[in-house]
Structure 1
Amino acid sequence: MLSVTPIPAFNDNYIWLLRQDTSDKVAVVDPGDAAPVIEVLEREGLTLASILITHHHPDHTGGLPKLIERYHPRVIGPDNPSINGIDERLGDGDECLVMGRRFEVMAVPGHTLDHIAFFAAGVPPLLFCGDTLFSGGCGRLFEGTAEQMHTSLSRLAALPGDTLVFAAHEYTLANLRFAKAADTDNTLLDAYQRDCQRSRELDRPTLPSNMARELQVNPFLRTDQRGVQRAASSQGDTDTPLATFTTLRAWKDAF
């Protein structure tokens, strides 16, 4: 069995730890800080075999130098020469085998131009999407265009509904506050917000989500819905799903 557990980092990052119950070798995703990873590995007697990187931002790569020096893991990430230490630079459609699961690499530009996601089919399907898709939201457009991000999110939305969505930040409650403004007719938001609030009060992560749920509650995946278009029309153009997405993203930036 492959288990995925969060290692909290900084204020709201999750470094995801992948572990098989028959081995002491593990993998981590987006280690922005080495210290919490080292603490878990040393406490539990684990060996870091692989690291997956989704994009170049320091809160996703900052721990690489210390982890590479200490454990010499195999590092897999985007084809971006600014990220030092990557052994396998992968792009859209490439595959890699990590912890016994075969992951497909998906190019998902928008938040950054080099952003990739890792998807593993199986039971259950797993998606490590970095800062592209959050529960109830999506990443800011630091380098890419709204069209690129809309296309990237559309690709992720087409994954199986039971796909577990391992985003890199605990942004869910803030995202849902915006979702309730951007999707006022959505009767599912209140219950999901209460569930997530309860999880946070118990110091539990709201993640992973799953793709079926995101299609129900995430306004950035619902830009073809009349309720979202109507709510966003007070902020800008909503003539097409892309125009609605562009308006939503600008609205969220200032929300």
Structure 2
Amino acid sequence: MLLHPIPAFSDNYIWLLADDNGNALVVDPGDAAPVSACLAERRLTLRAILITHHHPDHVGGVTRLLAEHDVPVYGPAGEQIPGRTHALADGDSVQIEAPALRFEVLHVPGHTLGHIAFFTRDHTPPLLFCGDTLFAAGCGRLFEGTPAQMLTSLDRLSALPDQTLVCCAHEYTLNNLRFAQAVTPDDTSVNQRLAQMMHTRASGQPTVPVVLAEERQSNPFLRVDDQNLREAVNAHEQAALTDRTEIFAALRRWKDQF
């Protein structure tokens, strides 16, 4: 299958997944124009739209796409999604006929309260479309949820298979890795990954998708139990935090000000 991040706005990615017969689905089409252009260029037929959450840069193109394509729209039950035909909750599954894929629906609140992710084992390697919950070397801001909710969501995504490809919705990787380096400046995995991703961006390539096993090594928000990270957070906070939710909350505040 073709897995392709379609650039949109300043740093969004709209994910396209297509089979060899030209059947395609898109995830979080905040803008219809680049989706339509990609479908036309690759001679693909849109078959479904998947939505992770309600923010305009993820749903803004749905209405126009539906004017051009009669397709189902799968989105979170707990949020207002334009054109939604299938309201999804945690534990639901989505069966797409073409491209032939079954997605597991995971409720991952934090960035928004109703945020969901789509995970499929029907692709090799498995694919995770996680919207703005998990980023390459980072995580989403807490616009609606609590630190405890976001940490639980990240723990859940981190428990997926090692080889899972994380398909997040923004090109934030370099900034996220620079923050990770500021937190643990002597971390080899972080420093090596930053150098690699700087080269990737300099060559004009996207830094995503990323492999989940690598995220666990260099994403500070998946490492709240790491002793070096905990010491760095406490030094920054001038505190003696031990609770992992408090560590996560302090780390997220640090990143918000970075």
- State the aligned residue count: 253
Corresponding residue number in structure 2 for 1:8: 7
- Aligned equivalents of 2:226 and 2:13: distance in 1? 31
Match of 2:112 in 1: 112
Distance 1:226 1:184 in 2: 14
Q: Check if 1:245 corresponds to 2:248.
A: yes
- TM score, norm. by length of structure 1: 0.97
Which structure 2 residues correspond to residues 97-246 of structure 1 after superposition, within 5 A?
A: 97-98=95-96, 99-122=99-122, 123-236=124-237, 237=239, 238-246=241-249
| Aligned counterparts of 1:234 and 1:247: Cα–Cα separation in 2 | 11
Alignment map for 1:77-116 (pairs within 5 Å): 77-80=75-78, 82-98=80-96, 99-116=99-116
Q: Which runs of 5+ in 2 are unaligned?
A: none
1:147 aligned counterpart, secondary structure: helix
- Contact residue 184 and residue 228 of structure 1 kept, 8 A: no
Between 130-139 and 240-249, report the one with greater CA deviation: 240-249
1:202-234 deviation digits (Å, cap 9, x = unpaired): 110000111100000000000000110011112
| Aligned mates of 2:75, 2:236 — CA distance in 1 | 37
Whether the aligned pair in 1 keeps the contact of 2:79 and 2:114 (CA below 8 Å) is no
Report the secondary structure of 1:128's partner residue: strand
Structure 1, unaligned runs of 5 or more = none
The correspondence for 2:41, drawn from 40, 43, 53, is: 43
Q: 8 Å contact 1:184–1:231 — kept in the other structure? A: no
Distance 1:6 1:63 in 2: 16
Structure 1 counterpart of 2:11, one-letter code: D
Q: Which runs of 4+ in 1 moved over 3 A?
A: none
Q: Equivalents in 1 of 2:180, 2:79: separation in Å?
A: 37
Contact 1:184 / 1:227 at 8 angstroms: preserved in 2?
A: no
- TM-score scaled to structure 2, two decimals? 0.95
Identity percentage of aligned residues:
52
Q: Please give the root-mean-square deviation of Cα atoms over the aligned residues, in Å.
A: 1.1
Write the distance in 1 (CA, Å) between the matches of 2:208 and 2:5: 9
Q: Which position in structure 2 is the counterpart of 1:57?
A: 55
Contact map agreement 1:5 1:17 (CA 8 A) in 2: yes
Cα distance between partner residues in 2 of 1:243 and 1:3: 41
Q: Would the aligned equivalents of 2:54 and 2:79 in 1 still touch at CA under 8 Å?
A: no
Counterpart of 2:17?
Answer: 18
Distance 1:42 1:187 in 2: 43
